[in-house]
Amino acid sequence: MAHRLFVAIRPPEEISDLLIDAMDDSPEFRWQDEEQLHLTLRFVGEVDRPVAQDLADALTRIRSDQFQIRINGVGRFEQRSSGALWAGVEPKAPVAALATKIERIYGRRYDPVSEITITTGATEGLFAALTALVDRGDEVVLFQPVYDSYVPAVQLSGGRPVFITLRPPHFRIDWDDVRRAVTSRTKVIVINSPHNPTGTIWSRDDFTELERVLQQTGAVIIADEVYEHIVFDGARHESVARYPALAERAVVISSFGKTYTTTGWKVGYCAAPAELTALIQSVHQWIVFAVNGAVQMAYADAVARDPECAGVTAFYQRKRDLFLSLVAGSRFRPLRSAGTFFQLLDYSDISNAGDEDFAIAMTRTHGVASIPLTPFLHAGETADRIVRFCFAKRDETLTQAADRLRAI
């Protein structure tokens, strides 16, 4: 019997499968050709940037006896030494480095043990937080286009997603919509800045509005900030952690995957006041209990060495600028990305086709893959003529892709 989730939600793999079918059909593709693979499959969302050497080196520096160390979910190190179990908070644990980093950048001090949780990617943090907070019948306010993992997690807990639709070209939040959506039944509001898939970011004014809207409610904020270091044009990342009245009721979720180009290592974290963290950890410990200790230690080093990650910001700024300049001569209209490594392009001057058909046809005919917005939309909302490109690619790949886009 099909699980009820798969009745309600179109799994994102389905669109990837359609794109792969389109590539199979396409004379543009030669699967043996590595460049082709970069242009296509990897154009969809994967980052094509090597892992920083010092992060990889940090893994090799870990002594074999240290691999015995298990770092549990709350960042306590446990080590068997001379037969006795030694347990304590290691000052070099990633939770300690993260507490220092977050305080330095966003001005809020989280206790490393009772307020920070290392998770299996942001995905597990989001799932643990939503599962811990949402009960049957609770409403969860979501902004759509919405990142794909939120809705299934809400529905698995028996919660009811309430959607606020952001509309092109700016995808700005209409605060009247938010006032209508947030009620006494709202248990959680999930926010995501920088935003996947639109590349928009929240401003200070947005947070002032959010504070007003939530004043009379008990709603908890889950803030997905995985792209915190990928913001452009000198903008400052507005973490919810900067806003004390909001941070009191917020779970901040981030991921080492985006910042360190290590999406496959699957390590992220949640920072939240102790009471909320206790709830999250009560779920987290039964999902994974602990996250890869050796990798956590490598990240601890990297976080302590360079909390600001200015190089990451500069790297993606240059990529976005390059991609925008390369598509400037095309009939695609860019909706300028302010953050993330995604760039939306409006194709309404080229075709009237729906976005899924357009993405598949473009893959098949021109050999450049993109992601339509339809899979990010729910509740009968239809997408505009816009597709999402990933510019976290080698310059040659971007140049080749843009050559083809300009020819369309």
Q: Write out the residues near ligand PMP by the rule CB under 6 A.
A: 121-123, 147, 192, 196, 224, 226, 255, 257, 263, 268
CB of 44 to ligand PMP, least distance (A): 11
Contact 235, 339 (CB under 8 A): yes
Other beta carbons within 10 angstroms of residue 367's beta carbon come to 21
Judged by CB, which is closer to ligand PMP: 121, or 159? 121
CB of 298 to ligand PMP, least distance (A): 16
Judged by CB, which is closer to ligand PMP: 257, or 293? 257
Residue nearest to ligand PMP (CB): 121
Contact 245, 284 (CB under 8 A): no
Token pair, residue 51, equals: 């892992």
Cα–Cα distance measured from residue 205 to residue 194, given in angstroms and rounded to the nearest whole number: 15
Judged by CB, which is closer to ligand PMP: 77, or 342? 342
DSSP 180-219: HH--TTEEEEEEESSPTTT-----HHHHHHHHHHHTTS-P
Looking at this protein, which amino acid is placed at residue 209?
A: E
Q: Which of the 8 DSSP states describes residue 290? A: B
Judged by CB, which is closer to ligand PMP: 226, or 302? 226
Judged by CB, which is closer to ligand PMP: 268, or 293? 268
What phi and psi values does residue 355 have, to the nearest 5 degrees? -65, -35
Cα–Cα distance measured from residue 270 to residue 194, given in angstroms and rounded to the nearest whole number: 17
CB of 257 to ligand PMP, least distance (A): 4
CB of 306 to ligand PMP, least distance (A): 19
Judged by CB, which is closer to ligand PMP: 251, or 326? 251
Contacts of 302 (CB under 8 A, 6+ apart): 52, 54, 55, 58, 260
Judged by CB, which is closer to ligand PMP: 16, or 365? 16
Contact 94, 119 (CB under 8 A): no
CB of 352 to ligand PMP, least distance (A): 29
Cα–Cα distance measured from residue 31 to residue 42, given in angstroms and rounded to the nearest whole number: 13
CB of 81 to ligand PMP, least distance (A): 32
CB of 25 to ligand PMP, least distance (A): 27
